Structure 1
């Protein structure tokens, strides 16, 4: 059963209510544990006072242990409940974010402002990156690499095989959408640079820090010392005498050996354990990616370096055990004993060497897989939240046909849908119309849906079939004081970029909105005309929005290469009404006089 947008919103709201109830229950549980700990502390004081007043008594002394043990159990339980509470808060944020996205269009994830580029072939004109953009609308990534992957897939078209494979992968992930919310919740506490930090520590820092263990004699000695210590200790217990003195010298030698290497050991412990703890926090989401029997080749290919034997999540757990063992040094008494008789810190360093040699590469592959899943989950969430959208069909030859095409960033309640198709051979389609009638929006609607199609996601249309185009746009041309570039010069630079691109890419599609604004009307017309003729000569399809009706007359000279479309207005009793529907032929109704009249200017 296909869900509606209303039912999806209701599910999110129900999940929010469930998480809020869970958070409330966990907070109550924490309060109860806190009061219980306080009660046990008071009980311990009372028992101790009774012992002081009544003197030593076996029963009272035994009772003294019970509150202490229960207190330790409650401390551990409180820590576990706190972890649950933190996770529940992160999952609540994920659900709330989806509701905010549906109701207000606001997304709490990164907007992609760092990818904005005025020189990109289409990104600035089609609102691909930055606040209010397609990226801001669809991003659900927390890691830098995940965000980069999403930006890359929106920034250039994939080939047909990749698009089809991504469609299949996104559909499969949409079927696991509930689990993806938990995946995202696990990542919610991470900062974008955390994976880069782990990679640096794992690939570069740790091998350098562990280099001091390369001495063969040290490796051998650390390996045999536990057995030697146990034999010597057992012998001292049985025979006593001088063996105790030998055991003392043995411990003193280990103390000296540990002290000599203490600088290196501290570098390993304090330099890497933070990264190891970060790495451990990724093990849960890595395990989920391993546990699902994925069907789509695109996802299965993410496991190309899948380990033989231990799964990556298990490898990370092994690392966690090593770090946990290393933490024994934090207890002065326990750490001192272990180092004196077992060279514990050095042994943990040796364990890290072995772990790094075996598992560093597959673990980095697992972390890379997390970022790839993040990017796919962004697309799957987009698909899930927009059940009325459809996956486009891909054609090999020059083709574009759409029915019910709308702009994905315009709310569904006010979105107007249009049908459009290209001819079998390239044409320049000149779109005329009044101010605010919808020309620019239509061009952006065509372009942004192609960006979605080429990323492998569904598009905002009832049906779409398309071949792969190299998009080029000319819409928002800005001057630059820093580069000493006038608007006209900026326009010329953009035109040159387009001309260079269409000469190199035979599958180009050009989107132009009001060309050559920075010059006089005569040169504007002549420049636009000669540019259109160049597109016709190059057999490059284009959508060309303009106010200049003279350009629509080019159809007389190029009846097979030029088509006219328009957006018009309806004027009733001096009021303007826009239907934003694309119509065939040149525009005959304009609104400049009415707009000027509204600000006090009348055309005679």
Structure 2
């Protein structure tokens, strides 16, 4: 699709250079900041080294000559600690600058169509039985998910994947569109989300965290706390008695009792902490994102509603998660060797677990809701970023009734805008079927994929790669990339007719189907192929479905003529000049009149 300087309907009048210019301006500011803080980093590193050497040498001199004045080392040691704290702030700023630099460079790569291979692919969400996910490149390398996803939590990735795999009701689509339009220009908000929490390789794992939070078997904290506090006090008193009166036997006896009780409690405490242990960094990230969501000034009803859901439990979600994060941090201190030595006698680990369990009693029921809100905000933010970086794309209109799909200047969103050729399309009750014929490589498959993937975007609440688009609520279903299965014992033909059965069942539901069928039934003879295709398509049209069938077998072009006025033939064609094939990728009425198979074979040197 060629770059335009504006768009109709709900689009924004802007130029394609604005986002990339903004990103480069910010990258320049980040580079200046990085240079400044790198200079400070070197100064503080040198100062710490010099001060550290001085402390060591001073300690040696004082021990040798003035042992009574070792307290004088407190001043340089305190100074060393202060330098360490200030240096860590500088290092944190450098880490933030590096994260932002990577973020904006990735943004430029997306705008310049160098994004494939960068970011999450979402392959774990790919279900081979889904009616369009594989066919339309929703997940995997170079997929729609990889282009869109900027979520930092698993909840955000799961929400985005769910939105791309199932159409939302029209009121929800409208609400998402309003939210995305409000979020689109908020570059600073997205920057704050990038900087929330530390950059960690792992993400918040919502299933484990929710399972822990909703555990219906809380600890008997009162009895455990009373017992462990009493045993801890006895153990400390036994140490005093050993030191004062040489009661070693008493100290040993109490130590053995405490050790036995700790051992007895260990498995129970581990089960109680399962799902939250080791999640301190994850929780810090979640708390940072929630705090940003809560503080954002919003007017879109969808965002306001999400913010309201974060406060239903009577406390701000971010504050509650911060409290849990601190408790988990105490829990993880149990890995310290010093704590491990004394834990069996002072019950540090059980007390940490009980503090966490008390938090779960108060707030555990709200965790699912908080994670869901985080996921929705991250999915909306992913759409908003896509909208910001593709200002020529528009938000479709969603009328009641249908089936209806009307698009102008529609192109494939995964292709470079300068290379993608736009086409117009209109399907409704008067024209339900287009049969697209054309030679190899003419663009038939790409065209129906562009229709499907834009419909998926529209039905998820995102902008679409078109000058204008109007569509009703539809169920997208495709048979484009059908694979055989050696492990499952399925031939390609059987896998294809199984998909057709799935599409047939979907067409019986209330929501009309948008079907996209590429080279249907290519695994059988021409006669069976024509009869089978026509019968199947007639059945779909009879249930109110709309869609397209592509073919290079001209016998299938007869289907449109046999069905009548609700079907039409269109084609893509090519020209052969100077020994090369040329394609214009423009949809044209009528049946194709050219073939190119023999020309292609000869062009690569085959003697045919």
Q: TM-score range by the shorter chain?
A: 0.7 to 0.9
Residue-by-residue CA offset, 1:79-114 (whole Å, 9 max, x unaligned): 333333333332322222222223312253211222
The structural deviation recorded for 1:554 is 4.4
Whole-angstrom CA distance in 1 between matches of 2:330 and 2:495: 63
**Which residue among 32, 37, 61 is the counterpart of 2:43?**
32
- Find out whether 1:44 has 2:55 as its counterpart: yes
* In 2: Cα distance, 1:573 partner to 1:56 partner: 95
Aligned counterpart for 1:409 among listed residues 409, 414, 423: 414
Deviates more, 1:174-183 or 1:594-603: 594-603
What is the aligned partner in structure 1 of residue 89 from structure 2? 80
- Within 5 Å, give how 1:70-109 maps onto structure 2: 70-103=79-112, 104-109=114-119
Q: Matched residue of 2:570: which SS?
A: strand
CA apart distance, 1:377: 1.6
Q: Is the 8 A contact 1:19 1:92 kept in 2?
A: yes
Match of 1:564 among 562, 569, 574: 569
Q: Which residue of 1 aligns with 2:74?
A: 65
Deviation at 1:556, TM superposition (A): 4.5
SS at match of 2:160: helix
Residues 355 and 575 (structure 1), Cα distance of their counterparts in 2 relative to 1, 3 Å cut: closer
Cα displacement (A) at 1:388:
0.7
Cα distance change, pair 573–545 in 1 and its aligned pair in 2 (3 A): same
Contact 1:404 1:419 in 2 (8 A): yes
Aligned counterpart for 2:391 among listed residues 381, 387, 396: 387
Tell me the equivalent position of 1:484: 489
Q: Number of paired residues?
A: 581
Q: For 2:166, which of 125, 144, 156 is the aligned residue? A: 156
Flag the 1:345–1:400 CA change in 2: closer, same or farther, 3 A: closer
Aligned pair partner of 1:300 in 282, 304, 317:
304
Match for 1:213 among 216, 221, 238? 221
What secondary structure sits across from 2:591 in the alignment?
coil
Q: Aligned-pair distance for 1:12?
A: 2.1
* Mapped partners of 1:323, 1:485: distance in 2: 49
1:305–1:423 distance in 2 versus 1, CA, 3 Å: closer
Q: Deviations over 1:429-448 (max 9, x none)?
A: 11112221122211111111
The correspondence for 2:203, drawn from 192, 195, 202, is: 192
- Equivalent of residue 24 in structure 2, options 3, 8, 13: 13
Q: 2:479 aligns with which of 453, 463, 474?
A: 474
1:256 deviates by: 8.7
Name stretches of at least 5 consecutive residues in structure 1 with no aligned partner. 227-231, 233-243
**What are the Cα deviations for residues 383-442 of structure 1, in whole angstroms up to 9, with x where unaligned?**
111111000000112221111111101111211011111244352211112221122211
> Would the alpha carbon gap of residues 253 and 388 (structure 1) be closer, same or farther in structure 2, given more than 3 Å must change?
farther
1:166 equivalenced with 2:176 (yes/no)? yes
Please state how far the C-alpha of 1:459 moved relative to its aligned partner. 0.1
Alignment of 1:532-543 (within 5 A): 532-543=537-548
* Deviation readout 1:322-357 (Å, 9 max, x if unpaired): 567779986979x989x98xx987766654443332
In our comparison, the structure showing a higher alpha carbon Rg is: 1
1:176 and 2:186 are equivalent in the alignment? yes
**Comparing 507-516 with 99-108, which one deviates more in the overlay?**
99-108
Say whether residues 1:420 and 2:422 are aligned partners.
no
Does the 8 A contact of 1:280 with 1:320 survive in 2? yes
Identify if the C-alpha distance between structure 1 residues 525 and 327 changes in structure 2 by more than 3 Å, giving closer, same or farther: closer
Mapped contact 1:222–1:347 kept (Cα < 8 A): no
SS of 1:512 mapped into structure 2: strand
The equivalent residue for 1:587 is 592
Answer 1 or 2: which has greater helix percent.
Answer: 1
Q: Which moved more, 1:412-421 or 1:523-532?
A: 523-532
The residue aligned with 1:373 is 377
- The answer to whether the 8 Å contact 2:394/2:468 transfers is yes
User: Quick check: 1:593–1:602 contact (8 Å CA) kept in 2?
Assistant: no
SS state at 1:393 partner: coil
CA root-mean-square deviation: 4.0
Which protein has greater RCO, CA pairs closer than 8 Å, 6+ apart? Answer: 2
Looking at structure 2, the residues matched to 274 and 327 of structure 1 have their Cα atoms a distance apart, in angstroms, of 7
Deviations 1:516-573 (A, max 9, x none): 2111223223333333433444443221111233333445444322211111223445
Match of 2:125 in 1: 115
Q: Is the 8 A contact 2:155 2:371 kept in 1?
A: no
What does residue 139 of structure 2 align with?
A: 129
